[in-house]
Each structure stands twice: as structure tokens, then as C-alpha cells.
Amino acid sequence: MDLKLMIYLVVGATFALYIGIAIWARAGSTGEFYVAGKGVNPVANGMATAADWMSAASFISMAGLIAFLGYSGSVYLMGWTGGYVLMALLLAPYLRKFGKFTVPQFVGDRFYSNTARIVAVICLLVISITYVIGQMRGVGIAFSRFLEVDLLWGLIAGMGVVFVYAVLGGMKGITYTQIAQYVVMIFAYTVPAIFISLQLTGHFLPQTGLGGTLSGQDGMYLLNALDQTLVDLGFNEYTTNRNLSTMNIFLLTMALMIGTAGLPHVIIRFFTVPRVRDARKSAGWALVFISILYTTAPAVGAMAMYNLIDTFHPGGVGNPEAAMVYEDRPQWMRTWEETGLLQFEQEGDGERVHYYNYKNPPAWTEEAELDGYTVANLDRDIMVLANPEIASLPNWVIALVAAGGIAAALSTAAGLLLAISSAISHDLLKGVFMPKISEKNELMAGRLAMVAAILLAGYLGLNPPGFAAEVVALAFGLAASSLFPVLMMGIFYKRMNRQGAIAGMLVGISITLIYIFLYKGWFFFPGTAMLADNPDGWLLGIAPQGFGTVGAIFNVITAFVVSKLTAPPPKEIQDLVESVRVPRADTA
């Protein structure tokens, strides 16, 4: 069957499934819209949480970053998985026991202040909008590939699908849709990885194939071969740290970890189960489901890079006359060229494509006339979606990956949009400005907020300040510097009062935003950064993606000092904090 038709059939079938589930599970009350009526089974909730968690950054972008960064890309694996453990152990059970719908509602009640609630809403909106930029970029990339259109039209198509099932179903519809999306996503990620691992190493499991030897290469290990190939092309070895200093590895890992534990759209999932112990079970199951993809990603990245270089240099990297002829380029390159995410820049009248490091060209370029084509722009975010095509896998596998990439982006986008919606309709309107608003009008306000968020995210997704995973890392830094400290101190430090919480959140998110805007560019006006992506200009050499750790430290110090200088919380609040931490059986 023709590839385009196969993709249409597979992706269309998954869309029909998602929309059908949204209609079947349509929210009819605020309880169902925000927390699915608190009736979701822990295993099902764990699967939905995993889908919510494994965003376009995880499915589409992370393996692409690992493919190009090599060892340095492992920081994303360590930070994101480690942060989920922190969330499962230190936050989820206690927040579920507190029994509120949203993170701002917890902040407002714990710190007995509508001002604290409003500041928490502002932080949540900044985090979620930054995060959803990466998701909408992933949506646009996936749709532009399978529709074979420009990124703009891919984004518009994706926005339409998100609108139908997220706005209609609320948390109840999103939860059951995400269960289906997880199944699609994990099959789409692991099946091609198994095929490629068998092709290259003969290992069925990609995790063992990564450390295996290449078939027909006289015992040459995959990673050793990849190291040597990259060195021959003028790059550093794949298995060495090529991009980040030790300090930045620590700061970025920590920012991703504590940022993960402070993500509002993931935390809200633990309010959907009936009891506190079910929240713990959900966290455990989610970690199991997440680990399947995260242990496969390093193999996907390494094998994709190996196959990519082999495509450009089928005759060997040291033989420029055996490089790929542009007119004979494979169909997958022609297709991605139509999206604008893969581009070639002609140099002279030659016809061959050479892939090498322009800043540090290999020795063979000095002896050969490279009067041909060179790769001008290969977007890292296309690697996973293009991976099965690069490896010449069957059309049904390529179609499955397209469906999985779309599922990953849509699942997290829906969760983020719901967090934005609930923050505006439930926390601001219902909680502060219009406490007597009817349930019907609150639902309407929530859906309108979702529509506005979809439009804004789509616009920003056209001009993100980095690759999908990099944009998501910035969102995690914002969560690390604002919400995580106030949640932790709200649970484990009875003396923390409203003045300290408000001051800490404002200081933490403000300095982090200023640093990101200075070094990555203002999101609404791309390209205006004063020192964007220039490591020589970073303050003390700290990368913008890891600055959330510094923001969190300032948050904690500010909150602690202000709390010590002001009156302690009322006794009933301190008793409430104590009761949340004391375990009791079958607490609802």
C-alpha cells in the first residue's frame, strides 16, 4: 500500500478513536471537567499520567537531541526521570490528601491568601504556555510530515484536533483519551526501535542492542563505530561530553528534576483517583510505563545517527567521491524538504551531498574539492519521525510512528491546556473574582480559556526559542524556580506563611524569566535576545536551561527569610499542614 495512504489510514483511525472517546466521556460537571470525578483506576491513571508526561519533547525531540548531542543528551534522561520520582515521593500523595482541584487552589488555601493564589496562577500560566509551545511545535512537525505541507499548515491542523477533544471532554475525556494515546505511542516508539536494533546488531531489545556489536563488522561495537565515524567527519566522539560543563550538567539535571516535581499539569492527575494510596499506586505505575520509552530513547538516538551518516556517506566517510548524489537522495529527504525542516544549500556545480563539521572539517576535505552540496539545516526534531524511513522499514511502521508522534504531542498539549483552563476559570474566576458563578458558566469560561490558549500556543509554536526539548527544558526551569519550592515548603515547613510564599514565588520566577529572555530571546519577538545561545556571555557560564536551579535557590532563601521576619501562620493552618503529613488509612 502507498505510504501516504497508509499514514492517512493509521492516523485517521487513531483520530477517530480519540474523538470517539472524548464524546463518550464528555464532562457534564466541573468535577468531571477538572478531575474526572475522582473515579479513575490507579493503573489507568498511571497510564494516562505517562502519556501526559511523555510529551513531544520525550517522543519526538529527546532522541533527536541524544542523536546529535550524544553523551551530553543523557542529562535530559536523568533529569526528567529523577524528577518524577521526587514528585511521586514528596508531593503527589500529600497534595491528593489535601483534596483540592488544582495547584493554585492548594497554594491559596495553604497560605490563606487570594494574593498567593493569583501569583500561583500567574506562575502556572507562564510555565504551561512555555511548555505548550514545545508541544505545538511537535504537533506541527508531525502533521506537516504526514500531510506533506508547510509547518504552518501542520500547526493549524493539529490545533483543530486538540480543540475538538480537549475542549469537549475536559479531564474525564482527556484521561481516557490519554490511555489510548499511551498504547499508540509506546508501540510506535518501540516497534521501529526493535526492527532497527535487529537490523544493526541482531539484538531484539534496543536496550541491549545499544551495547552490542554491529552485524557483519567483525565484532565492532555500535558505539565504537559511531565514535570513529563522527571523529572522521570532524565531530567529537559520541560517547564523550561535548556541550556542557560539569556545572551545567548538575544545574540542568537539578532544574529538570525539581521542575518535573512542580509541573501543574502532571500534579493535577493525582487528584483524579479516589484515595491517597491510589495516588501512590498511580505514581508507581506511571513510572513503570514511562521507563519503557526512556530506556529505549538512547538506542533510538544512537542508531538513528548511525543510519543517517550511512545514508549521506554510503561509500565510507573518508571517500568524498562515494558520498550521496543529491538527485538520487531517498524519498524521505524529498518529503521532509517540503516541510522546510530539511534543507540543502548548493555550493558550486557539484552533485554530491557531504555531511561534516563545518567548524572543524575532517582531514579528507583538505585533499578533495567539495564542489557539491552540503547539509544546511537538518532539524533535530525530525529524527525520530524520519528514523524508520532512514532505515527503510515497512510502510506500516512508518505510519505507526507518525501516529505515535502526534499522540505524544496531543496528549501533553491537552493536559497543559486543561491546567491553563482550570487556573483561569476555577482559580481566578470561581476562587477570587466571581465566587458565585454558576457551574455552567464556569465550564463555559474554562472552555473559552482553552480556545484562547490553543490559539496563543499555535502562534508561539511557529517561532519557538529552540528545539522542542529545549523549550520544554525552559518550562521546567520556570516550574523549578516558582512552584516546586512553595509546594515543598507548604507541605513540610509549618512556619512558612503567606508573605514568604508570595515573595519567594515572585523572586524565583522573575529572575529566571529575565535570564531566559536575555539569553534565549523574548518569545513574542524571536531573535531579540541580547546574548542568545552565546556561552561566552552567560552569567558565570550558566546555561539558560539550567538557570531554574538558581531561581529555586533564590526562591527558598527569600521565602525563608521573609517568613522569619513576619508573623507565623494561624494555628489552624499549622494544624492543617500537620494533618496532611500524618498518614491515615483510606483517606479520601
Residue 256 pLDDT > 80, yes or no? Answer: yes
Query: Which letter does DSSP use for residue 64 in this model?
Result: H
Three cell numbers written together for 337: 524538504
For residues 328-349, average pLDDT: 78
The confidence score (pLDDT) of residue 584 equals: 55
Band the pLDDT of 155: cuts 50, 70, 90. confident
More confident residue, 523 or 136: 136
Intervals of CATH 1.10.4160.10 along the chain: 3-307+388-464
Percentage of the chain with pLDDT > 70? Answer: 80
Nearest CA to 544 out of 554, 532, 560 is that of 532
What 3-state class would DSSP assign to 373?
strand
- Say yes or no to pLDDT of 173 above 50: yes
Could you say which DSSP state residue 428 is in?
Answer: I
Q: Using alpha carbons, select from 424, 425, 384 the residue that is nearest to residue 404.
A: 384
What's the pLDDT at 525?
42
Judged by average pLDDT, the poorest of 19-28, 356-365, 409-418 is 19-28
Q: What is the CATH number of domain 3-307+388-464?
A: 1.10.4160.10
Range 452-456 average pLDDT: 79
Most confident of 42-56, 377-391, 504-518, 568-582: 504-518
Q: Among the listed ranges 228-232, 270-274, 478-482, which one has the minimum average pLDDT value?
A: 270-274
Q: Average pLDDT of 150-163? A: 76
Higher pLDDT, 253 or 435: 253
DSSP 24-35: HT---SHHHHHH
Going from the C-alpha of 86 to that of each of 79, 80, 260, 439, 488, the distances in angstroms are 11, 10, 8, 35, 11
Question: What is the tens place of the pLDDT at every residue in 103-150?
Answer: 788 888 889 888 998 898 888 888 888 777 777 777 777 777 777 777
Contact 567, 497 (CB under 8 A): yes
Confidence of residue 465 (pLDDT cuts 50, 70, 90): low
| Residue 391 and residue 199 in contact, taking contact as beta carbons nearer than 8 Å | yes
Question: What is the side-by-side order of every strand in the sheet holding 324-325?
Answer: 324-325, 352-354, 373-378, 342-346
Residue listed under C-alpha cell 491546556: 417
Sign of CA dihedral 299, 301, 302, 307: positive
Q: d(Cα 198, Cα 194) in Å, to the nearest integer?
A: 6
Which pLDDT does position 218 carry in this prediction?
78
> How far apart are alpha carbons 216 and 202 in whole angstroms?
10
Encode pLDDT of 531-565 as tens digits.
445 566 677 778 888 889 999 999 999 999 999 99
Query: In terms of C-beta density within 10 A (0-12 exposed, 13-18 middle, 19 or more buried), how is residue 143 classed?
Result: buried
pLDDT, averaged across the chain? 78
Distance CA(370)–CA(389), nearest Å, equals 27
Instruction: Output phi, psi for 534, to 5 deg.
Output: -115, 95
> Cell numbers of 60, please?
519526538
Q: Report yes or no: 474 and 57 within 8 Å, Cβ to Cβ.
A: no
- Max Cα-Cα span within the chain: 80
The residues with which 352 forms a beta bridge, in sequence order, are 325
In the predicted model, what is the mean pLDDT of residues 320-333?
82
Question: Cβ(507)–Cβ(554) under 8 Å?
Answer: yes
Q: Report pLDDT for 529.
A: 41
pLDDT band at 347 (very low <50, low <70, confident <90, very high): low
Q: How many Å apart are CA 199 and CA 197, to the nearest integer?
A: 5
Position 587 confidence tier, pLDDT thresholds 50, 70, 90 = very low
* Segment 375-401 mean pLDDT: 81
